[in-house]
Amino acid sequence: MKLKLFTCVVLLLVTLYSCTSKPTVIALCERDAKGNYILKWELYPETDNVPAEIFVSDNDSVFPSTPSFTVKSNDYIAIIDNTSDSVEKRKYFRIKIGGTMSNIITNRFFEMDSIQNFRDIGGYITNDNRTVRWGKLFRSGSFFRMTTHDSVELSTLGIKTVIDLRSEDVKRPYIDRFKSANNVRIPISEKGYSSISQKVMDGKFLRGDAVIYTQDTYKDMIVNFADDYARFFDYLCDENNYPIAYNCYLGKDQSGLATYFLLRALDVPLDVIEEDYMWSGIGIDRTKLVKDADSLTESRQEALTMLTKTDLAYLKYGISCIREMSGSVDDYMLNKLKITPEKKKKLKAILLH
């Protein structure tokens, strides 16, 4: 059966118990075009064909004591039919194999009509072995072209607050698109994509221009908009605002930097934070940005690619600006973003379990 899988990878490593005979379980969750869940796993070391017990819940904090499904571990895949669920409640899973229980998994990315790069930032494991809660925080691209389907998806997720981080030059008609939520406007950066998109189409904005523009944007965000990021974290420290979705134009720059600071405050390992940053490369569909993008001239396509790609070098350039400005990222977060130990404690109480 050929499945059109929605591109999303949730990779969670389970720490080995003290008993070395218990395997490590590497699990991921995807959703197909029909809304079914596809669970996949790998085992290390390989085991005999023992049962794989799958536990299912509508709540990432509470799971039943008995499995909902049992399959063979050597199948390495299970498809959970979700087409009959009229309520469309999101499902969460744990897989138990050979005495090892996996962490909680679900789909990270969501297939939207026009909202780019919409994804959950839950499920990450912190340095002290706690887990970021699923279904609390979502990052994404702009909502300004959202469809009825997109609006229904946001309502199903129970989004209460939408924080728009797009640049200051975004005009009023293109904000406050999701009327069911409290829409908060916190512009980060002076000028955004709207100011240069026509230059790209006119062939006046080339590959090298895109690199310089993105670097300048990161420096602008860090040097001139720290107070605005501090306001962003004030909203995150109020539990009454959740679930929260925050967005910028493509969900990779203003949102990417916000997520970097947040996951660092939650004590998520740096390599995981960088991986989350790079996943915007999966979530951005350039064909939805420009009509007939493939028909553009080579120079225009190169500029568009450089402008929309996710490159760890941009994040590291931003970090170098932070160090030049404040000495260290920790000092910048404390003194510029006002993420005090008390705020970190509050964020962890809201977002970790």
Residue 306 located in a structural domain: yes
Residue 193 banded pLDDT, cuts 50, 70, 90: low
CATH number for the domain spanning 229: value is 3.90.190.10
Global pTM reads 0.88
User: Nearest CA to 257 among 212, 306, 317, 169?
Assistant: 317
Q: Domain end: 65, 81, 101, which one?
A: 101
Residue 237 sits in the same domain as residue 315: yes
**What is the extent of the structural domain holding 61?**
12-101
Residue 194, phi then psi, degrees to nearest 5: -60, -25
Q: What is the pLDDT of residue 287?
A: 73
Residue 172 banded pLDDT, cuts 50, 70, 90: low
**Residue 239 pLDDT > 70, yes or no?**
yes
Residue 133 sits in the same domain as residue 97: no
**Residue 174 pLDDT > 70, yes or no?**
no
Kindly report which listed range (15-29, 150-164, 187-201, 212-226) carries the lowest average pLDDT score: 15-29
What are the tens digits of pLDDT across the range 94-125? 999 989 999 999 999 998 999 999 999 999 99
Residue 157 located in a structural domain: yes
Q: What is the pLDDT of residue 308?
A: 81
Residue 149 sits in the same domain as residue 285: yes
Crossing angle, helix 207-224 and helix 312-326, to 10 degrees? 40
Residue 63 located in a structural domain: yes
Q: Are 182 and 235 in contact (CB under 8 A)?
A: no
Residue 260 located in a structural domain: yes
- Total number of domains in the chain: 2
Q: Could you tell me which residue, 350 or 291, shows the higher pLDDT?
A: 350
**Residue 179 pLDDT > 60, yes or no?**
yes
CATH number for the domain spanning 65: value is 2.60.40
Residue 90 located in a structural domain: yes
Residue 209 sits in the same domain as residue 308: yes
Identify any residues that bridge with 37 across adjacent strands, giving them in sequence order: 31, 80
Q: Are 281 and 161 in contact (CB under 8 A)?
A: no
Residue 16 banded pLDDT, cuts 50, 70, 90: very low
Q: Domain end: 53, 83, 101, which one?
A: 101
Residue 262 located in a structural domain: yes
Residue 291 banded pLDDT, cuts 50, 70, 90: low
**Residue 202 pLDDT > 90, yes or no?**
no
Residue 92, phi then psi, degrees to nearest 5: -125, 150
Residue 114 located in a structural domain: no
Residue 153 sits in the same domain as residue 87: no
Radius of gyration for the chain, computed over Cα atoms and rounded to the nearest angstrom: 21
Residue 285 sits in the same domain as residue 174: yes
Question: Which secondary-structure segment (H or E) carries 120?
Answer: strand 119-120
Q: Are 181 and 162 in contact (CB under 8 A)?
A: yes
Residue 289 sits in the same domain as residue 336: yes
Q: What is the pLDDT of residue 82?
A: 84
Residue 300 located in a structural domain: yes
Q: What is the pLDDT of residue 294?
A: 65
* 338-351 mean pLDDT: 98
Q: Cα-Cα-Cα-Cα dihedral of 291, 297, 299, 303, to 10°?
A: 0
Sequence-ordered alpha helix ranges (H) in the chain: 148-156, 197-201, 207-224, 226-236, 254-265, 270-278, 280-283, 298-308, 312-326, 329-335, 341-351
Residue 86 sits in the same domain as residue 24: yes
Residue 91 sits in the same domain as residue 148: no
Strands 37-44 and 24-31: antiparallel
Residue 22 sits in the same domain as residue 146: no
Residue 27 sits in the same domain as residue 79: yes
Residue 337 sits in the same domain as residue 284: yes
